[in-house]
Amino acid sequence: MASSWEKFEERIKQEMRKVYSEAVIEHSMNPRNLGDLEDADGFAKVIGPCGDTMSIWLKVNGNRIINASFVTDGCGTSIASGSMVTEMAKGKSISEAQKTTQRDVLDALGGLPQESEHCALLAADTLKAAIREYITMKREPWKRAYREY
């Protein structure tokens, strides 16, 4: 028998289904890859058009992203976008991941309401900024000392 918490959660999901896809609901309520990564090979913190921020950490091995994580102070759809973009990045080569667009994140999430589409842009932009940082740190490792998490 469902507990009162489970019933409450189901009621919230039913309300969310009127606006969001199953993937958005799942990734916002159970985000993957949440938190920082120690000794990250790439890192970026980006401020989105709405003023919210997202941070992404990358671990890279042999030019392939082997792990990725994120933190955001944004809304539920930015949590879903960060969760999805880090899932998408894992296992990709640096050059493949660099091509990730807002459209890719939106498609993977099954779309977002128009007013939330910028959350997917923030996620794609942060991933690409973290990749650029990885490339810079590889070239100039001494810059790691000046990183600000």
Among 88, 119, 129, 131, binds ligand FES (CB under 6 A): 119
- Part in contact with ligand FES (CB under 6 A); list of ranges 7-15, 69-77, 90-98, 134-142: 69-77
Q: Give the nearest residue (CB) to ligand FES.
A: 74
**DSSP 3-state assignment of 57?**
strand
Q: Dihedral sign for Cα 76, 117, 97, 48, please.
A: negative
Residue 104 sits at the vertex; the CA angle it makes with 102 and 128, to the nearest 5 degrees, is: 55
Cβ proximity to ligand FES, 100 vs 116, nearer residue: 116
Please give the torsion angle defined by the CA atoms of residues 69, 70, 75 and 78, in that order, rounded to the nearest 10 degrees: -70
Helix 22-29 / helix 76-89 crossing angle, nearest 10 deg: 90
Does residue 75 have an active-site annotation? no
User: Per CB under 6 A, does 23 bind ligand FES?
Assistant: no
- Part in contact with ligand FES (CB under 6 A); list of ranges 7-15, 62-70, 74-82, 125-133: 74-82
Annotated catalytic residue: which of 23, 29, 34, 50?
Answer: 50
Among 77, 83, 86, 126, binds ligand FES (CB under 6 A): 77
Task: Please give the Cα distance from 4 to 54 (Å, whole number).
Answer: 34
Rounded least distance, CB 122 to ligand FES, Å: 5
Which residues belong to the active site? 50, 119
